[in-house]
Amino acid sequence: GPIHPRRPDTILRRMVRGMVPRRKPKGAAAMKRLRIYIGVPEEMRAMNFGRFEDAQATRPIPVYITVKELSKNLGWRG
């Protein structure tokens, strides 16, 4: 049967792969540059990131699931 990723980083990589034209040179290069981390990388912990207030959702969606919850439901033990 089909093999589904369980780790959060591989789930996200698979989702991005589905949105990128990976068989074309531009998409293949983008996939090579893609970096996905579980948690915050060491070199970015000290950085201060701002938020765009106008980009925030005015009415949050009441039904959602995080990638962590999805991974746990799929059997990830991390």
- pLDDT by residue (tens digit) across 21-72? 999 999 999 999 999 999 889 988 889 888 888 887 778 777 888 899 999 9
Q: Count Cβ atoms within 10 A of the Cβ of residue 78 and give its class: 0-12 exposed, 13-18 middle, 19 or more buried.
A: exposed
What pLDDT shows up at residue 34?
96
What pLDDT shows up at residue 6?
95
**Domain assignment of residue 6, given as a range:** 1-40+62-78
| 5 occurs within a structural domain | yes
| 50 occurs within a structural domain | no
| 46 occurs within a structural domain | no
| 1 occurs within a structural domain | yes
What pLDDT shows up at residue 63?
85
Asked which of 2-6, 9-13, 48-52, 59-63 is least confident by mean pLDDT, the reply is 59-63
What pLDDT shows up at residue 10?
96
| 55 occurs within a structural domain | no
23, 54 Cβ separation under 8 angstroms = no
What pLDDT shows up at residue 70?
94
| 78 occurs within a structural domain | yes
Number of structural domains (the chain) is: 1
| 45 occurs within a structural domain | no
Rounded Cα–Cα distance for residues 60 and 10 (Å): 26
> What are the C-alpha distances in Å from 12 to residues 7, 18, 21, 46, 72?
9, 10, 16, 24, 14
Q: Which stretch of DSSP H or E encloses residue 32?
A: helix 25-33
